[in-house]
Amino acid sequence: MAKPKKIIVTGGLGYIGSHTVVELQQRGYEVVIADNLSNSSASVADRIGRITGETPVLEVLDLSDRTACLRFFNIHADAGAVIHFAAAKAVNESVHKPLHYYRNNIDALLYVLEGMEAVGCRKLVFSSSCTVYGQPERLPVTEDTPRLEAMSPYGNTKRICEDILSDTVKASQEWKFLALRYFNPIGAHESALIGELPNGVPANLMPYITQSVAGLRPALQVFGHDYPTPDGTPVRDYIHVSDLAEAHVAAMEYLGKPGFSGMDFFNVGTGRGYSVLEVIQSFERATGKKVNYEIKERRQGDITQIWADTSKASRLLGWKACRDLDQMTSSAWKWQENLARAK
Ligand code: WQD
């Protein structure tokens, strides 16, 4: 199949979206970003341009605004596929603002699908999350592991969006969808020009570590040391954001393969779990920096451990994560140092 000329990336200025745009452009795709700047800035498009030599087209709009979304798709009616990242994604915030999360995350997907249908674009890669599994009974998690009750409204929007997509393909086989269930993305592009830039105090482990070591935050609080894990701290399948970005390109190209129709799901992790203390040890080893931390109570909603069985993505997408934990932690620190220089 000839490469589709234009790929729409919604939320393409965000952490995972921006890294995916870089990988798409470096493989010869023309990219149009749709982003509402709610959790990113337009300068990210310029930084992407500095990496790839081509600044992606940026359309600033809120995809949960139906009129704006349909107008956007009419302008880009020649798009060959959509990679849909645009969503609010702060787990803790979703607990306090459930209506915003349901409205924003579900309306955006519904209007994107309506826009795609209007212009005959039928291929979509959906940004899902391992959070749909809750605390699995058996590890590693396969794509057939039952989805459990979501631990947050954020997680529930991911589950609902997966169901919207699977019901849509049941009604019409013209659609082709892939849902990528991410594990824990960390790290930054090797150029240190793009990376994670959470609003406010980071809820996630890696950006908190880098901001704390940079002297921007107090010492790291390790939420719980009494879990039934080898060192008592929770285990997650951390994956380099560039590996995750490459998985999106492989998934988008898989959608174009003859014979694929309907919907499929892929776990996107490394297949290996690391504890919080192991991440800290990796960071110190890879950067030579000391991480000051205090052991605190468990954080509500945290699961004990999860890591992926990634054999399906390897078999069908021909994709496998190739960056190790030290590359993840050292790239996160390089990005933090570059941020400090850019201030
Ligand atoms: C990782 C570990 C914390 C901060 C979340 C979302 C998930 C996905 C990835 C979107 C846990 C511990 C953290 C801190 C700590 N996002 N921790 N001190 O919760 O596994 O997953 O982000 O799809 O949906 O749920 O990631 O980085 O918040 O936590 O001890 O200051 O680090 O307890 O064990 P999490 P995280």
Residues framing ligand 1 (Cβ under 6 A) = 89, 91, 129, 131, 182, 184, 203-205, 208, 220-223, 234, 236, 276, 299, 302
Q: Which atom of ligand 1 is nearest to the CA of 182?
A: 23
With pLDDT > 70 as the criterion, what percentage of the chain qualifies? 99
| β-strands 274-275, 235-236 pairing | antiparallel
Mean pLDDT of 156-173: 97
pLDDT of residue 276: 98
Amino acid at 37: L
- The separation between CA 297 and the C-alpha centre of its own chain, rounded to angstroms, equals 28
Q: How far apart are CA 265 and CA 164, in angstroms?
A: 14
Give the Å distance between the CA of 241 and the centre of ligand 1. 15
Nearest atom in ligand 1 to the alpha carbon of residue 130 is 24
**pLDDT given at position 2:** 59
Which pTM does this prediction carry? 0.97
**pLDDT exceeds cutoff 80 at 14:** yes
Side chain identity, residue 14: G
Question: Average per-residue pLDDT in the chain?
Answer: 96
pLDDT tier at 342 (50, 70, 90 boundaries)? confident
Q: How many CB atoms lie within 10 A of CB 189?
A: 22
Strands 262-268, 30-35: pairing is unpaired
Q: How far is the CA of 103 from the centre of ligand 1 (A)?
A: 24
Is 15 among the catalytic positions? no
Looking up tokens 């599994």, which residue turns up? 133
User: Which comes out higher in pLDDT, residue 275 or 300?
Assistant: 275
The side-by-side arrangement of strands in the sheet containing 6-10 is 57-60, 30-35, 6-10, 79-84, 123-129, 176-182, 262-268
What pLDDT, on a 0 to 100 scale, did the predictor assign at position 3?
Answer: 58
| Candidate of 15, 16, 84, 91 to mutate for ligand 1, largest count of ligand atoms within 8 Å of Cβ | 91
> What's residue 268's pLDDT?
98
Q: What is the pLDDT of residue 259?
A: 86
Name the closest-CA residue to atom 12, ligand 1. 205
Residues 61-77 have a mean pLDDT of 97
